[in-house]
Amino acid sequence: QVQLVESGGGSVQAGGSLRLSCAVSGTPINSWSVAWFRQIPGKEREGVAGIDSRGGTTTYADAVKGRFTISKDNAKRTLYLQMNTLKPEDTGIYYCAGFRRSSAGTNPTNYEYQYWGQGTQVTVSS
């Protein structure tokens, strides 16, 4: 049984940093494309950052470019999202996702994923 478990969320002041982790159990992730998504109140879920398994290309949403960094440790079967210079508009529930379900597209933040974590809350106060 494949499980993804996020951790590292919390409350910070604007300008602060958090690092989210997503531990995967039940399968290796070496060949996985992976991504982080977020659900902000009143908005649709959006892809924040992703890694394509084909060459390890990383992609970021414009709103987080230069502030967030996604990484994947295959040996530890863990994804990370380093979030710096956080803003109040980054507040939301963050989800990790892995194992691409379709072959269409080249942007990992737009892929359909088979497996999802349960989400972790990030709150940024001004």
- Residue 63's contacts (CB-CB under 8 Å, 6 or more residues apart) are 89
pLDDT value of residue 124: 98
pLDDT value of residue 41: 87
Closest CA to 24 of 82, 95, 76, 83: 76
pLDDT band at 78 (very low <50, low <70, confident <90, very high): very high
pLDDT value of residue 93: 98
Structure tokens at 43: 């908005």
H or E, element range at 92:
strand 92-100
Residue 68 burial class via C-beta count within 10 angstroms: exposed 0-12, middle 13-18, buried 19 and up: buried
Percent of the chain with pLDDT over 70: 99
